Structure 1
Amino acid sequence: MTTNKQHHHSHDHHHHPESQWSAKAKAIESLLIEKGIVSSDAISSVVQRYETNIGPMHGAKVIAKAWKDPDFKKRLLEDSETVLRELGYFGLQGEHIKVVENTETVQNVVCCTLCSCYPWPLLGLPPAWYKEPAYRSRIVKEPRKVLKEFGLELSDSTEIRVWDSSAEIRYIVLPQRPSGTENMTEEELAEIVTRDSMIGVAKVEVPMANV
């Protein structure tokens, strides 16, 4: 197991933009619920959509393009930040994103041990479990066990690389393209790429119709 530390001193939890926006969002949410303008269920529904559907669509499109276009994939892995910026994926929480590739022998997984740095422009809102102290600490110490709890069982020969995101650099996983998808279009491929596979806690599954 390889752990890639990238934190240094860049985290300032008293002045971290994500912490400030999170506090403001919670205050607004409480006020809206208190005034009866929206319900907590409605807010949860919107958050769920952005966590699992709307947000990750951007990252899924990048992954699908990399699967279909070898030249694009090569550039993406060599200079992720430049390529993603060309596509319009940058800005707040999207600075300095690095793409790391899964292979037959390597499984990459992303975390942020000190807070919850995450590539928002590509994956949308981070899932609740990503921000939990249990995931942030355990994925570094016992990644194979944690991945198994997510339903991802890896052979002992598979190397697990844990990438620790920070305010200086954020990571996204390029999952392996599953066999049986050779005839799928780029748009169809994007539909099967999941948020969890781009964090590294799951593999992309072949649609039943293609099995």
Structure 2
Amino acid sequence: MSDDHTAPPEDLALRVKSLETLLTKRGMIKAEAVDAFIQYYETEVGPRNGAKVVAKAWTDPAFREALIEHPGEALSNLGFAGLQGEDTLVVENTPKVHNVVVCTLCSCYPWPLLGLPPTWYKSFAYRSRVVREPRDVLAEFGLDVPMDKEVRVYDSNAELRYFVLPERPAGTEGWSEEALEAIVTRDSMIGTAIVPDQSVEAGA
């Protein structure tokens, strides 16, 4: 993908830091509050939550079925619900189907599961292109989907958000949920990546 949506503007971090410094000096915010907010979204609201859901679905067939059939209830039982995640539909990748998620209008996204959306997800280039040429866009992310596999694009909106359940990779048989969580990436739960093969042969 082109740089206009794979990375934030070069001066964005500087602007944020300048704004934070100004507000702190004026006593409008405290540095500790900013740190706590960042930690919350990094550790409690973020891709780690989604990874926990994926790992449990990979190891617990009953939970996987509930997640697909009744996602709201299954996610609430794990404590992953609330603001920006009230109605989430889980779509499962299979050997025959690859799913990818977009929000063509703005940046609707399942915050309780994935945290804040990446910059490229909000860009016009991604939002406009992935619905028209999904294979080309995925290829630019480094994901070449075989032609015999169907690609389905799901458009999130204010009423309904989508979450991709990736295929469990080879070489993970017998792994613990904790070990599986560690290999699940944010992009694999959006559909712009897959979880790589973990077999010995794949790493050789």
Taking structure 1 as the reference length, the TM-score comes to 0.77
Equivalent residue for 2:22? 34
Q: Distance in 1 between matches of 2:91 and 2:118?
A: 20
Change (3 A) 1:70 1:208: closer
Q: Distance in 1 between matches of 2:44 and 2:135?
A: 27
Which one of the candidate residues 145, 164, 181 is aligned to 1:173?
A: 164
Q: Distance in 2 between matches of 1:146 and 1:54?
A: 27
Equivalent residue for 1:158? 149
Unmatched 5+ residue regions in structure 2? 1-14
Cα RMSD for the two superposed structures: 2.8
Report if aligned partners of 1:99, 1:171 keep a CA contact under 8 Å in 2: yes
Equivalent residue for 1:145? 136
Q: Distance in 2 between matches of 1:208 and 1:71?
A: 26
Could you list the per-position Cα deviations for residues 29-61 of structure 1 after superposition, in whole angstroms to 9, with x for gaps in the alignment? Answer: 7642335659xxxx8xx9799579961000000
Q: Distance in 2 between matches of 1:158 and 1:33?
A: 50
Report if aligned partners of 2:71, 2:88 keep a CA contact under 8 Å in 1: yes
Report if aligned partners of 1:181, 1:189 keep a CA contact under 8 Å in 2: yes
Which one of the candidate residues 61, 70, 79 is aligned to 1:79?
A: 70
Report if aligned partners of 2:108, 2:157 keep a CA contact under 8 Å in 1: yes
Equivalent residue for 1:124? 115
Shift of 1:183: 2.0
Change (3 A) 1:71 1:207: same
Q: Distance in 1 between matches of 2:79 and 2:24?
A: 37
Report if aligned partners of 1:51, 1:125 keep a CA contact under 8 Å in 2: no
Taking structure 2 as the reference length, the TM-score comes to 0.79
SS at match of 1:103: coil
Q: Distance in 1 between matches of 2:24 and 2:78?
A: 40
Could you list the per-position Cα deviations for residues 60-92 of structure 1 after superposition, in whole angstroms to 9, with x for gaps in the alignment? Answer: 000000000111101110111111112111111
Unmatched 5+ residue regions in structure 1? 1-26
Equivalent residue for 2:50? 59
Change (3 A) 1:159 1:124: same
| Percent identity over paired residues | 58
Q: Distance in 2 between matches of 1:53 and 1:67?
A: 21
Shift of 1:189: 0.2
Q: Distance in 2 between matches of 1:158 and 1:48?
A: 39
Which of the pair has the greater relative contact order for Cα pairs under 8 Å at 6+ separation?
1
